[in-house]
Structure 1
């Protein structure tokens, strides 16, 4: 059995090292990795992430009939962060966003009564320092006087003024989704008429019916307001991001202040399909700009989506240069300021029950662990850590089972109770990200991935200490 030793794991500024006995007493010394594959969550749509002044990332996404907020010290470990589930009392909760405005937290979300025709925007408030703590007070519906269908609301702050931007219907029939803006007197009240600033008119916006402009997100640079929005059919591979700009000093309630670009600025490429509905944030040290976005899990997956992230740069005119979606099999650097990870290549584990190391065209080391087909199939790893604590485990996994169903590994530590590690169904070699929080003792630990429901494959797993723990409900 191979032994992997993590040294000084809780000090992010210190390099981590692995000591791997190979053969008769020979020891190979290896450094940890600062690379990752850019998936953040293997399930999810409409991601919103906000980096607060306390250094934590706060994340939410569409979760159904509630709003869920995650808290993490790192952008790439959101899925293992502390979590707060907030009931809403409604249905069809879409695209919640968490904003910190004038000393309080606000969540804006679309909700209906079970009928999409009745989707409207709502807002809730929390005056606690930490949005995963304290009490969330419902402030009610936020709307202009038309009170028509509305989703994907976001807040634009320009100096001391607040504006609400959302996607809505012109009348009461779903012909097209238009982007509207209105002035706000406070974080829960619109006090002006809605003003149309963009409707789908370009060929790449009108290639599916109904026509869609939605998911507006704002990022400001040197006085240029960049409103990046999603267009085309969200259920298709054509879903993409477009750009509308305005000057910060202009009359933002005048449609003439807004200029739409003729071409999308982010679209399908490199085996990634339908990138859209995004948010912007920065690296932990603030030196990098990052976009977090959802994509289809595979060609033609439609609304079956996952969450990815990558850096972007800026054009000379202060508009974002998003480039192309990163190839899912091309590792990229961790966000600047994130501590390194220790990586365990699956093919280097100890196998049993017919599981084995296999060649892999997309695996990180050209191999993977597979053949988890027998009831007693497993791969395990001996891990030594200097300090007891809770660790984030991030596993690159795949599931291409013929039945199309979810698979699970049974993940256990030190022969304790095995917990199911969810593996999304996409295809073999189409890797997802399965995450867990594991409690490790100081010294030796044994981590085992055993066959659970269905079949799955393992490319590698990373370990990183959590800097806080616990879940609030």
Structure 2
């Protein structure tokens, strides 16, 4: 079944390579910035099947479903991932779903599903890169990874237990799409399965079987002490009922024995707090390694199906060494930054200077109780003055909205200090249902004026955070 979406790429346009200075803006009075240690937790305004991995080099490596290729992001911060450096790895296939990137035995590996245009031919594949930086070097196709049945397979992931490597994936029992089952098999190397597949979970509870076809998919591994947790997604990914379930086994058990695995009868993460259809999660740590975070996709709005965004929030652990995700956090309340991320200055759009038809409107879900909209004519804009105490590379992390009729993306024209304007993309998820648009820019120390002007369609801005990520 065609359960994934093709996603809009290239949203974080770059202003790098231009050194910007205060110049004639020295006389401008900077807007009142508030120094913050929190953020709004939509980290990508568009996307599905997120996979984020924090490596020993201090970088986060990220990927998601992008359609016909595998796109990799690399960032020093979780919250800056959307504006991070990227590279595209071609696969030669179609309908590329749920890629993952892993570092195994001194090399990088990408695991991904693809087909030839016919969903029935979806299979898992592997690529290898021996470079220290996976955005560099050469990706070598290691071919398909399959057990002897070579049945339909997606959402593959890998882990080691007691020195043995295992592959876990979602697949069909036969050649027809009756249901998706979770399988495990032993691996002889990172691109080869060397045992029969073993079923460890199938949809059985009401919350797993409330849509057809029934689905268990998106397995992800969390290990705590002697406990192996497989967090998986169930129900219809196209519905608000999509949610996370949990399988557990002991590290010292026979992981190829189905009896070693226990399924929790209830969801461990589901719709709530104004967030719909949370699922297909991955797990990472804060920059200082002190906190555990879940990164997941959710519907952009109630009933939006496969039109999704990517969110993150911290989680804790239960006494039995299973994860405690709680409920999705209120999207209109900022949450503390991942421990070790840089604090940021927050600017409210309503504090800016307005031109044309742009005007301030009050709204309870806006960060300061107000927003700027009606940027509807070519001469309309909002100018916001900022003052940075150190030159370097900055990320602008803006809370934006778009409810343009027809469901299309909109843009604002973003410029700094009167320079060339670039498109600042804003996804369509309804008015007063905020997403996050980002842009990376180089700023000299001192005062600058950032302008958001009329682009394509219609968009509003609530405000933005500005934080330094490099020299």
Same fold, TM-score > 0.5, yes or no: yes
Does 2:401 correspond to 1:398? Answer: yes
2:256 is paired with a residue of what secondary structure? Answer: coil
Q: Does 1:292 align with 2:295?
A: yes
Question: What is aligned with 1:9?
Answer: none
Matched, 1:153 2:156: yes
Give matches, 1:429-440, under 5 Å.
429-440=432-443
Residue 13 of structure 2 corresponds to none
Find the residue that maps to 1:430 and give its secondary structure.
Answer: strand
Deviates more, 1:45-54 or 1:157-166: 157-166
Q: What TM-score comes out, normalization by structure 2 length?
A: 0.93
**1 CA distance for matches of 2:416 and 2:463?**
16
1:442 positional shift: 2.9
> Is 1:407 the counterpart of 2:410 in the alignment?
yes
CA distance in 1, matches of 2:42, 2:201: 31
- Within the alignment, does 1:71 sit opposite 2:78 as a pair? no
SS at match of 2:82: helix
Q: CA deviation at 1:342?
A: 0.8
2:362–2:370: 8 Å Cα contact kept in structure 1?
A: yes
Q: 1:401 to 1:60 in 2, by over 3 A?
A: same
Contact 2:28 2:385 in 1 (8 A): no
Once residues 223 and 387 of structure 2 are traced to their aligned partners in structure 1, the CA distance between those partners, rounded to angstroms, is 46
Q: Secondary structure at the match of 1:428?
A: strand
* 2:379 corresponding residue in structure 1: 376
Asked if residue 317 in structure 1 is aligned to residue 320 in structure 2, the reply is yes
Give the secondary-structure state (helix, strand or coil) at the position aligned to 1:279: strand
Q: Distance in 2 between matches of 1:136 and 1:84?
A: 11
**Matches of 1:404 and 1:51 in 2, distance apart?**
35
Q: Does 1 or 2 have the higher relative contact order (CA < 8 Å, sep 6+)?
A: 2
CA shift digits 1:407-455 (9 cap, x unpaired): 1100001111100100100111100001111222332322100011111
2:51 maps to which residue?
A: 48
Where does residue 267 of structure 2 map in the other structure? 264
- Change beyond 3 A, Cα 1:301–1:29: closer
> In 2 relative to 1, CA 269–76 (structure 1 residues): closer, same or farther, beyond 3 Å?
same
Task: State the SS of the aligned residue for 1:207.
Answer: coil
Which residue does 2:359 correspond to in 1? 356
Within the candidate set 125, 134, 148, 1:131 is matched to 134
TM normalised by structure 1 equals 0.92
User: Following the alignment from structure 1 to structure 2, what is the Cα–Cα distance between the partners of residues 171 and 99?
Assistant: 29
Q: Would the aligned equivalents of 2:54 and 2:285 in 1 still touch at CA under 8 Å?
A: yes
**RMSD over equivalenced CA pairs, Å:** 1.6
Shift of 1:404: 2.1
Segments of 5+ residues of structure 1 without an aligned counterpart are: 1-19, 469-473
Shift in Å, 1:31 = 4.7
- SS of the residue corresponding to residue 269 of structure 1 reads coil
Do the aligned residues in 1 keep the contact of 2:392 with 2:470 (CA within 8 Å)? no
Residue 243 (1) aligns with residue 261 (2): no
Greater shift, 381-390 or 322-331, is seen at 381-390
Native 8 Å contact 1:183 1:192 kept in 2: yes
Q: Identify if the C-alpha distance between structure 1 residues 302 and 335 changes in structure 2 by more than 3 Å, giving closer, same or farther.
A: same
Q: Distance in 2 between matches of 1:385 and 1:236?
A: 44
**Contact map agreement 2:34 2:347 (CA 8 A) in 1:** no
Residues in 2 aligned to 1:228 and 1:236: alpha-carbon distance in whole angstroms? 19
Inter-partner Cα distance in structure 2 for 1:434 and 1:185: 43
- What secondary structure sits across from 2:340 in the alignment? coil
Structure 2 unaligned residues grouped into runs of 5+: 1-26
Is the Cα–Cα contact under 8 Å of residues 342 and 468 in structure 2 kept in the other structure? no
Specify the SS of the correspondent of 1:163: strand
Residue from 85, 96, 100 that aligns with 2:99:
96
Determine whether 1:166 maps to 2:169.
yes
Q: Given the alignment, which residue of 139, 143, 156 partners 1:140?
A: 143
Q: Does the residue aligned with 2:350 lie in a helix, a strand or coil?
A: helix
Q: Aligned residue for 1:179?
A: 182
1:405 to partner: Cα distance:
1.5
Counting matched residue pairs gives 446
Q: Assess if the C-alpha contact under 8 Å between 1:73 and 1:467 holds in 2.
A: no
Q: State the Cα deviation string for residues 231-262 of structure 1 (Å, max 9, x = none).
A: 00000000000000000000000000000000
- Given that 2:32 and 2:347 are in contact with CA atoms closer than 8 Å, whether structure 1 keeps it comes out as no
